[in-house]
Amino acid sequence: MRLATISVLIGLSNLALGQGRPPVSVSITTPTPVAKTGAAIRVDIIVTNAFDRAVPLFETTDGHAEASNGVEVFDAEGRQLPWAGRHPRSISRKMPSVEAGKSVEDFIVLTNDFDLREPGKYSVVVKHEMLDPEAARPEDRRYFISSNPLSITITE
């Protein structure tokens, strides 16, 4: 089965507006876009620094991407599924400096954190947390970069 990767580059417009936020792309893929009810569904997350210098990016290890990424799952009618997993901030994370053009990669097993037992089509979006150390106000430091939407079909 062909695996398509779509990458969304966000941030260039912010730089043009003088906000100083580095361009970072977030892309998500899955090896199983169609799965049977009860099967584990893995979503791979790649966060790439598209800036011309190193940028700090939140990173986790061993499939705990929910600690530094907001994960949203929607059903075919556009209703957001509730989070059913452990509290994501209880997982340790680090914020290494990632060189220009380099990426950090992790994954989440959606079925550990969302109830996907109902057959149907679902859409997944990941929002990677970023910190802007140059923000004038502390409440403006935290922002999110959204991924491409990913479609998943659950069958009986």
Q: Label residue 51 by pLDDT band (50, 70, 90).
A: confident
Query: Which residue carries 């209880």 as its tokens?
Result: 90
**Average pLDDT across the chain, whole number:** 76
pLDDT score for 7:
33
Is CATH 2.60.40.2970 correct for 7-155? Answer: yes
- CB burial of 12-40 (b: ≥16 within 10 Å; e: otherwise) equals eebeeeeeebbbbbbbbbbeeeebeeeee
pTM tops 0.95, yes or no: no
Start-to-end CA span in the chain (Å): 20
Query: Which residue carries 């998943």 as its tokens?
Result: 152
Q: Say if residue 109 is exposed, middle or buried (CB neighbours under 10 Å; 0-12, 13-18, 19+).
A: middle
Q: What is the domain partition of the chain in residue ranges?
A: 7-155
Highest mean pLDDT among 7-11, 92-96, 99-103, 120-124: 120-124
Percent of the chain with pLDDT over 90: 35
Is 85:37 a contact under the CB 8 Å cutoff?
no
